[in-house]
A = this chain, B = another copy of it.
Amino acid sequence: MMPQPPAALADVRALTFDVFGTVVDWRSSVIRESEALGERLGMTVDWAAFADAWRGGYAPAMDRVRHGELPWTRLDDLHRMTLDRLLEEFGISDALDEAERERFNRVWHRLDPWPDSVTGLARLRERYVLATLSNGNVSLLVNMAKRAGLPWDCVLSAELAGHYKRDPEVYQMAARLLDQPPERVLMVAAHQDDLQAAHREGFRTAFVRRPLEHGPDATPDLSVDPIFDLVADDFDDLADRLGLPGGPRS
């Protein structure tokens, strides 16, 4: 008998994925490329602190869009605003010309997947439509997928809604474009608030724990909200729990 998903998830047809932290390891990737840049340009910087500060600028920058302080601005451009500020704060503003800044800013297009992402997605894709549902802009997500071999059926982005997660419009846009009632869409994320927002729009939810997202010394909140329909340790575990064949443990 073909393995089956849990009964509550039997009608799910599409999976939507948070990307930064859930599918890709942004922190290690940004640190590694920053270190190489620093070496090439002869800069001595705490690149882990730099990466964390860059990512730390993300939520406040989106809030400026959300509250109307900025018009709709793509994540690439929010990243660039934060980058320019951090180069000043870290005292290395003179070291990078415009071309270097543009190239460095696109490190967010070149993030490496977690070790289980590509194999897990390949298994999940056998049964489900797989779509990103990320705050990254479309071109960022397309470039990332092409480089990393992420087998999306469809690249969906906050950019298409003109709203950033966790605004409800983003989830509603995804269900509408996938032509599925929200209860047939499973949101997959490593962040509780993303899943809670999806749940409020009627999505099913799967929490994938990524304890290393913020580095080996961080102690992220990995607590499980009882509303979550599924909890998994990685994408192969997620595929196992959805009853898909072909896993390393099956």
Is A159 an interface residue when CB atoms closer than 8 A count as contact? yes
B-chain residues with CB within 8 Å of residue A154 when the two chains form the complex? 138, 142, 155
A129 touches B142 (CB 8 A): yes
A131 CA to B141 CA in the complex, in Å? 13
- B contact residues around A153 at 8 Å (CB): 142, 145-146, 155
Q: What is the CA–CA distance of A139 and B184 in the complex, to the nearest angstrom?
A: 14
Chain B residues near A212: list those with CB within 8 A.
none
CB distance from A220 to the nearest CB of B (A): 31
- Which residues from chain B contact A180 at a C-beta distance below 8 Å? 139
Contacting residues of chain A (176-221) with chain B, CB-CB under 8 angstroms = 177-180
Out of B76, B139, B145, which one reaches A178, CB within 8 Å?
B139
CB-based nearest B residue for A178: B139
Q: How far is the CA of A168 from the CA of B179 in the complex (A)?
A: 25
Contacts of A139 in B (CB 8 A): 177-180
- A137 at the binding interface (Cβ < 8 Å): yes
Chain A residues 142 to 169 lying within 8 A of chain B, measured CB to CB, are 142-143, 145-146, 153-155, 159-160
Q: Which residues of B contact A131 (CB under 8 A)?
A: 142
Q: Is the Cβ of B129 less than 8 Å from the Cβ of A146?
A: yes
Which residue numbers of A lie inside 8 Å of B, CB to CB?
76, 129, 131, 137-139, 142-143, 145-146, 153-155, 159-160, 177-180
A to B CB contacts below 8 Å, 9 in the list? A76-B179, A129-B142, A138-B177, A139-B177, A139-B178, A139-B180, A142-B178, A145-B153, A146-B153
